[in-house]
Chain A
C-alpha cells in the first residue's frame, strides 16, 4: 500500500534532451588553499558572500578554469547549490568555464575602446593566437583571447589586459610585441 496516490505515467521523454550525469565534486578546498579559504571566509558576514573571491582562488589553483567538478566542490564548501555557483561563474567574464590557454588576452569592447580601434586589436590578437573567435583557445593552446566589457580605462583607450596586467593606448604593433613577449 502506497501512502501517496498513484501517479499518472509521465510522457515518454523522447522530446527532451538527455540529462547530463552529475559531476563528482572535487574535495574542496585542497590542502594548498585551506588556510587562504578560511582567511577569506573570516572576512565576510556569510559564507555566500565569500563566493567570488573563493572562486577566483579556485580558478587560479585548477589550471585557470573552473570545471563542473570544481564548481560542485566549491558549491558544497560554501553551502549553496551548484546552479547558484554556475550563475555567478557565467555572469562574470573573468571566470573560464572551459580549459583556458596558457596566457589570457582581454580586449575591451565597450564604447570608448571600440571607437579607438579595439576591433582591430581583437582581430590582431585572434590571428596571433590562431583562434577562430574570441573565447576559444587557439590551436596551439597558448592564448585565450576574450572580449571584455568596460575595463575602466576609457581615458587611455584602447585598453588590453595580458595575463591580468593592464596596457593602455595599445596599438597593433604594441599588442603583437606584448604577445610575442609571452613564453
Chain B
C-alpha cells in the first residue's frame, strides 16, 4: 500500500483517500468545521489547512488527495499561521456571544479561537447583522450571525436525507442558510443538523437555554425508542433528563438518530414518577415503604395471588430483567411474557416498526409476545406505548414495577419504582440481534432506585426457599448459557459480581 508522510510518520493510505482521513485514522488531530466523514468535502471553512513540503501554499487537507512522496506538516509555522488567519477571518462577523450561546463548551469555534485566536479583533468595521431567531421546522432555531457557513446542514439534507429543505442564500457576509418556504422538514432526522453544526447557529428548541453543558453529566448509552438501538449519549442534570445525542457506531446508527427517538424522553421527566416503593394498607390507601418492607408485602401478595402466576414485562426490559422475571414466574408456577408496541413508521434508514427495544432479546429467551389483555400477577411497565392501559388493567396484577405512578392499575397492592431506560443498566438485543449495553445515566431520574432484576431475584428467593438471589453477572451468565445466545457476541465489561443498576 502506498504511504504518505504526516508529521514525519509514514502512514499507509488507500488511493483516493484525503489527507485529513489518513490523519484522523492515525490519531493526528486536524482542525475542521465543514468536513464530515459522511459527506462530500466542501473545503469552504479553510481551517484544516496543512503544509505540504515543497508546495508554495498551504492546502485544505479535507480535499487534498494523498499522493506518493507527499510530506505533510500539520503543526508547522505555515500551517499554524494559515489556521490562525482563517480563525481571524471567521470571527470577523461572528458575534462572539459565547456567554449566552448554547454551544459554549462544545463549540469548535470556541476551542480553536482559544487556541489560535487573538484576544481582540483587529477589525474596526462594524459586524454585519443578520437574522438571529429563524425557525427551521418545529424543533430547530437558526442564528445567521453565529453561522460560519460551513454548509454541513445543507449537505446533510441534500446527501443524507435527500430531502433538500435547506440552501445557502445571498453572498459574502450576507450569506445565510434558508429553508424551503413550506417551513417544515419532511424528514424524521432533521435534528441531526443541530449536532452537526460546529457552532451555535443551529440550536434545538427542546434543549436551548436549559443548561450549560459543564453542569451536565454525560453517559454513553442507547436509545430505546425503537428496536434499532441507536447508540447515544445521555446528558442529565439534577435528576432531569436534559438531552440525548447520537454516538457514532458504524454498525448500528452511523452518526445519526431520529427526531422522535431524541425527543421521546417525556416520561423520564414526568412529574408523576414513582420514586419510592408503595404498599396498599388495609383501607386500600397507598403508603410509602422501604424496599425491604415492600419485598415482604409483595411476596405475601404473590403467594395469595389466585388468578395468575405470570409476569408481563415491557418490551424494553433488559436481558437481566427478563432472566430474573423468568425465574420469578417459574417460582410462582407461571410464565414470563412481554408486550411491545408496533409502529407503522419504519423507513429505510434507522426507524423500525418494532418498538420494544429488547423484543428480539425476549423472543430469543423464549418469551411469548402478548397482544391482548391476559391475566398476570406481576407487571413491569416503563413505556405507555409498550404496555398500554388495556393490557395493564386487564392483567389484574398484584405487584407492579412502574416508572410512572399513574400507570399503577387498581388491582395492584405493591408498587416498585422502575427506572426509565435512562436510569437502568443492562443488555438489550437490537432488531439485528446485536447485544448492546444500556448504561444508567448519571444525574437522571429520582435516584435511589434498586435495580428491578435485583428486586425480582429477592422476590424469587422469598417465594422459593431454594433460590439464591443472583447478581447481574450471574444473570448475564445464565442468559449466555441459553441456546439462542450461543453464537452471540456480548459486550465486554459486564463482569460477574457487578450489581450496579440504577444511577444517580
Contacts and interface: CB of A to CB of B under 8 A. Distances in A.
Interface of A: 1-11, 13, 15-17, 19-20, 22-23, 68, 72, 80-84, 86-87, 89-91
Q: Interface residues of A: mostly helix, strand, loop or mixed? A: loop
Interface in B159-209: 164-171, 178-183, 205-206, 208-209
Contacts of B269: 8
B345 interface: yes
B266 A11 contact: no
Given A8-B206, A8-B266, A10-B205, A83 B344 contact: no
B180 A4 contact: no
Given A1-B341, A84-B167, A22 B225 contact: no
A3 B355 contact: yes
A72 B183 CA distance: 13
Contact of A17 (B133, B169, B206, B261): B133
Nearest to B261: A5
B266 A5 contact: yes
Contacts of B167: 81, 83-84, 86-87
B488 interface: no
A16 B206 contact: no
Interface residues of B, number: 45
A23 B181 contact: yes
Contacts of A16: 133-135, 141, 205
A33 to B, nearest CB: 22
B388 interface: yes
Interface string B131-171: 10111001101000000000000000000000011111111
Contacts of B13: none
B256 interface: no
10 residue pairs, one from A and one from B, having the closest CB atoms: A5-B264, A3-B343, A87-B167, A83-B167, A4-B260, A6-B266, A90-B169, A83-B180, A81-B180, A22-B181
Nearest to B181: A22
Between B134, B167, B205, B383, the greatest number of chain A beta carbons within 10 A of the residue's beta carbon is seen for: B167
Nearest to B137: A19
Q: Interface residues of B: mostly helix, strand, loop or mixed? A: loop
B503 to A, nearest CB: 20
Contacts of A4: 225, 260, 264, 343, 345, 385
28 contacts: A2-B385, A3-B342, A3-B353, A4-B264, A4-B343, A5-B225, A5-B267, A7-B260, A7-B263, A7-B266, A11-B206, A11-B209, A15-B133, A22-B183, A68-B181, A81-B165, A81-B167, A81-B180, A82-B180, A83-B166, A83-B167, A83-B178, A83-B179, A83-B180, A84-B164, A87-B168, A89-B169, A90-B170
Contacts of B209: 11
A22 B341 CA distance: 36
Contacts of B180: 81-83
B135 A87 contact: no
B384 interface: yes
A2 B265 CA distance: 14
A11 B345 CA distance: 25
Nearest to B224: A5
A23 B131 CA distance: 20
Contacts of B183: 19-20, 22
Contacts of B168: 87
Contacts of A15: 133, 141
B133 A6 contact: no
A16 B136 CA distance: 10
Given A7-B260, A84-B164, A87-B178, A1 B225 contact: no
Contact of B263 (A8, A22, A72, A82): A8
Contact of A3 (B134, B170, B341): B341
Nearest to A91: B171
Contact of A5 (B138, B342, B385, B388): B385
A7 B139 CA distance: 11
B205 A13 contact: yes
Contacts of B182: 22, 82
A8 B166 contact: no
Nearest to A93: B171
B178 A86 contact: yes
Interface string B348-391: 00000101000000000000000000000000000111001000
Nearest to B139: A10
A81 B178 CA distance: 11
Interface in B205-257: 205-206, 208-209, 225
A82 B385 CA distance: 38
